[in-house]
Amino acid sequence: METLLIGDAAGVRTITINRPDAMNAVDERVTSELQDALKQTERDRFIRCLVLTGAGRAFCAGQDLKSVQERTAEGQPIDFAETLRRRYNPIILKLRTVEIPVIASINGVAAGAGWSLALACDLRIASRAAKFVSAFTKIGLVPDSGMTLTLPRVVGLSKALEIAWLGDALSAEEAHRLGLVNWLVEPEELASRTMELARRLAGSAPRGLGLTKRAMNAGILNPLEDQLNYEADLQGIAGRTQDHREGVAAFIEKRAAEFKGE
Ligand code: T3D
């Protein structure tokens, strides 16, 4: 694995997205390796709990915008509907369907699809240094990777729209208050508190935990699959706009975007 660190201890597998210089932004290799790592985790019967985290000061900054801009500059149009279905949606579905507890250990910023990844996990423990940024609207896109289902289910429709539309960063404290994070801990305690929780879950009856997840999933899994497809359709439209290209260029050039509705 080039972009992931994978470690096992006492029945707990930890997958760390390891592109710290890019705030663990997700390129083709990350999604491909994450898909493989999740499939392997499901096959490894001795793994009883999975932890997902990020290296350095970010959890995950979502899609790698530099690779998006490079491809656009090379004249290779990206079909976001296709890339979501092929790259992101299988990861979100696997996080929900693997019948072991999945903990997001949120060490720093979670933005765009990076936040969606955390929302697709079963439990979230966050460092007080973490923050949450929807990010999609700022580059003319639609929240994806399940966020349009997972976020309003936790915070309600109006708050979800506020978060998505305004795109303001949510502090770890605010995310905890809203129920988006189960536990909030000091940065230096995150790793040990995560392992304490993971070991406790790994020591529980695995079949019972897995079936509990299956039962709790029952009400959301079919809607999630439909919603992932629907998000992909909408992202296909948003991804073809001039405003999206302007949003990405503005982010990379570190300036305010000028959106024209085109
Ligand atoms: O199918 C498809 O492909 C479509 C799918 C889309 C899914 C998505 O996730 S869309 C959303 C993509 N993500 C974003 O728009 C987030 C962009 N990043 C940010 O808003 C901010 O960087 C953060 C809030 C994450 C962190 O802010 P801050 O101030 O702590 O750090 P920074 O200075 O902005 O970033 C540090 C470096 O990381 C910087 O590089 P540099 O200037 O030092 O060389 C920055 O460019 C880089 N970086 C951060 N996010 C990304 C990134 N590089 C590439 N892609 C990123 N997403």
| Extents of the domains making up the chain | 4-202, 206-253
Contact 63 CB / ligand 1 (< 6 Å): yes
* pLDDT surpassing 90 at residue 75: no
> With contact defined as beta carbons under 8 Å apart, do 115 and 212 qualify?
no
Q: What is the C-alpha to C-alpha distance for residues 115 and 250, in angstroms, rounded to an integer? A: 21
- Other Cβ atoms within 10 Å of 64 Cβ, number: 20
Ligand 1 atom nearest residue 235's Cα: 4
Q: What angle do CA 55, 78, 89 make, to 5 degrees?
A: 55
Q: What is the C-alpha to C-alpha distance for residues 77 and 239, in angstroms, rounded to an integer? A: 9
Query: Which stretches of 101-156 are DSSP H helices?
Result: 113-120, 147-155
* pLDDT surpassing 90 at residue 133: yes
Q: Whose CA is nearest to atom 17 of ligand 1?
A: 61
Measure 148 CA to ligand 1 centroid, in angstroms: 20
At the fourth CATH level, the homologous superfamily of domain 4-202 is 2-enoyl-CoA Hydratase; Chain A, domain 1 (3.90.226.10)
Q: What confidence category does residue 226 fall into, taking pLDDT thresholds of 50, 70 and 90?
A: very high
In our burial notation (b when 16+ CB lie closer than 10 A, e otherwise), range 161-187 reads eebbeeeeebebeebbebebbeebbee
Q: What confidence category does residue 77 fall into, taking pLDDT thresholds of 50, 70 and 90?
A: confident
* Domain range 206-253, CATH architecture: Orthogonal Bundle (1.10)
> With contact defined as beta carbons under 8 Å apart, do 184 and 107 qualify?
no
Contact 113 CB / ligand 1 (< 6 Å): yes
Contact 80 CB / ligand 1 (< 6 Å): yes
> With contact defined as beta carbons under 8 Å apart, do 98 and 156 qualify?
no
Q: Of 97, 94, 47, which is closest to residue 206 (Cα–Cα)?
A: 47
Residues 165-210: tens digit of each pLDDT: 999 999 999 999 999 999 999 999 999 999 999 999 999 999 999 9
Ligand 1 atom nearest residue 57's Cα: 30
Q: What local confidence, expressed as pLDDT, does residue 152 receive?
A: 96
Q: What is the C-alpha to C-alpha distance for residues 19 and 259, in angstroms, rounded to an integer? A: 30
- Angstrom distances, CA of residue 126 to CA of 84, 137, 143, 165: 26, 24, 21, 24
> With contact defined as beta carbons under 8 Å apart, do 4 and 10 qualify?
no
Helix, strand or coil for residue 104? strand
pTM score of the predicted model? 0.96
* pLDDT surpassing 90 at residue 98: yes
- Using N-to-C axis directions, what is the helix angle for 89-97 and 28-43, rounded to 10°? 20
Q: What tokens does 85 get?
A: 């279905």
Contact 61 CB / ligand 1 (< 6 Å): yes
Residues 108-125: tens digit of each pLDDT: 999 999 999 999 999 999
Ligand 1 atom nearest residue 169's Cα: 24
